[in-house]
Chains A and B, each alone.
Chain A
Amino acid sequence: MQRGLDSETKKQLEEEEKKIISEEHWYLDLPELKEKECFIIEEQSFLLCEDLLYGRMSFRGFNPEVEKLMLQMNAKNKVEEVEGEAVELDVSDEEMARRYETLVGTIGKKFAKKRDRANYEEDENGHIKPTVKVKKMFLKPQD
């Protein structure tokens, strides 16, 4: 005795339900409305219209941070003109090169063994440079 429906009949019923739903057409039967190309954009902000300055201001050194900000912000408006600004260096390139040259010596001295520490000499300016020591090779005795 079978209670309930057969698996086949169940499937058929489901398919019929699906058909009914899909046939209901979730879309309205209206003609397609073509959206006109709109060349007008609506904006409610005054920022686009007028070039306004930054809202915080300080005069004659009352608030130095705000004065720095003023320069930054108002320069941002004219950023397109001044794009190729070189970054101000605190230390020049030459000095950096010199430092690295002597740095090798100073750090190298730290890891050198006691015997090799004698190789490190003090230069004219007090910079520590490693002097290259010629390694003793085996001399073959002459006949």
Chain B
Amino acid sequence: MAEAVGVVAESLAGDRARAARTVLDQVVLPGEELLLPEQEDAEGPGGAGERPLRLNAGSRSRGRVVCGPGLRRYGDRLLVTKCGRLRHKEPGGGSGGGVYWVDSQQKRYVPVKGDHVIGIVTAKSGDIFKVDVGGSEPASLSYLAFEGATKRNRPNVQVGDLIYGQFVVANKDMEPEMVCIDSCGRASGMGVIGQDGLLFKVTLGLIRKLLAPDCEILQELGKLYPLEIVFGMNGRIWVKAKTIQQTLILANILEACEHMTANQRKQIFSRLAES
């Protein structure tokens, strides 16, 4: 224990920047600096005096690197601000240097522009609704931000309703604002979520894991019985099935699957399928 602590203290005190490439999929801690690939080349073989000749010395061919959640720009390097695993995604279109981000886990949601969230209407004041999304402030939702809403044709939204919408304004200086239409003016699934069902809260990392394209949990769930799920990026999930018992089973599975291994999950699903 003491040795491990000593090693960690040394590495933190030295604070040598590591190359981002070498740390992919490893745990990083806040305060670490990461070098991007091009800088690492320049600083590497400098000591030997044999620098590779660069024909395009002026321009950097890497394009723009995007630093995602958990990272910040620190001069020319990346500074880690959250603990978790470092991930990287190659650029699809060929331009840009790809995306780096930290896969961290937390329960508290911070509104981000473009996120789809589930909110609860807490107040109705004049022309706007106040919607609780789990952040530091309730978001505001204008009554005109629904599909087909006009000044005379108001949407049927009451206090206590569940709303699925996305943020248009979300930064640390202003109150977040959300809407229930997309840029073309269509609802595309957003708006008031229907009757019945159950709303519960999970961690943010689990939501992202469940919404990954190759998620087995959802595929297995879908085979059990007819159901409907809505995932909000603020950690809220709403489920509905034909009977109350089925709904509760769903909720329990989704809450528990974060800490289960794949084998345990398969056992539970097979038991459910039998009954």
Interface residues of A (CB under 8 A from B): 38-63, 66, 69, 72-73
Taking the nearest CB of chain A, how far is it from the CB of B156, in angstroms?
17
Cβ of B202 within 8 Å of any chain A Cβ, yes or no, is no
- Does the CB pair A49–B89 fall under 8 Å? yes
In the complex, which residues of chain A have a beta carbon less than 8 angstroms from the beta carbon of B110? Answer: 44
Q: Which of B215-232 contact A (CB under 8 A)?
A: 215, 218, 221-223, 225-232
In the complex, which residues of chain B have a beta carbon less than 8 angstroms from the beta carbon of A56? Answer: 164, 189, 228-231
Contact of B97 among A39, A66, A69 (CB under 8 A): A39
- Docked Cα-Cα span, A46 to B208, in Å, equals 9
> Assuming the A-B contacts A43-B66, A66-B189, are A50 and B228 also in contact, with contact meaning beta carbons closer than 8 angstroms in the complex?
no
Cβ of B62 within 8 Å of any chain A Cβ, yes or no, is yes
Cβ of B116 within 8 Å of any chain A Cβ, yes or no, is yes
Give the secondary structure class of A's interface.
loop
- Does the CB pair A58–B228 fall under 8 Å? yes
> Assuming the A-B contacts A38-B73, A44-B112, A56-B189, are A49 and B87 also in contact, with contact meaning beta carbons closer than 8 angstroms in the complex?
yes
Interface size on B, residues (CB 8 A): 50
- Docked Cα-Cα span, A42 to B189, in Å, equals 29
- Docked Cα-Cα span, A4 to B113, in Å, equals 62
Cβ of B188 within 8 Å of any chain A Cβ, yes or no, is yes
Closest to B111 in A: A44
Contact of A55 among B36, B62, B230 (CB under 8 A): B230
Taking the nearest CB of chain B, how far is it from the CB of A119, in angstroms?
51
Cβ of B135 within 8 Å of any chain A Cβ, yes or no, is no
Query: Nearest 3 pairs between A and B by C-beta?
Result: A59-B222, A60-B226, A62-B226
24 A-B contacts (beta carbon < 8 Å): A39-B65, A40-B67, A41-B66, A42-B66, A44-B69, A44-B112, A45-B113, A46-B115, A49-B68, A50-B89, A51-B213, A52-B212, A52-B213, A53-B212, A53-B213, A55-B116, A55-B231, A56-B229, A58-B226, A58-B228, A59-B222, A62-B227, A63-B228, A69-B189
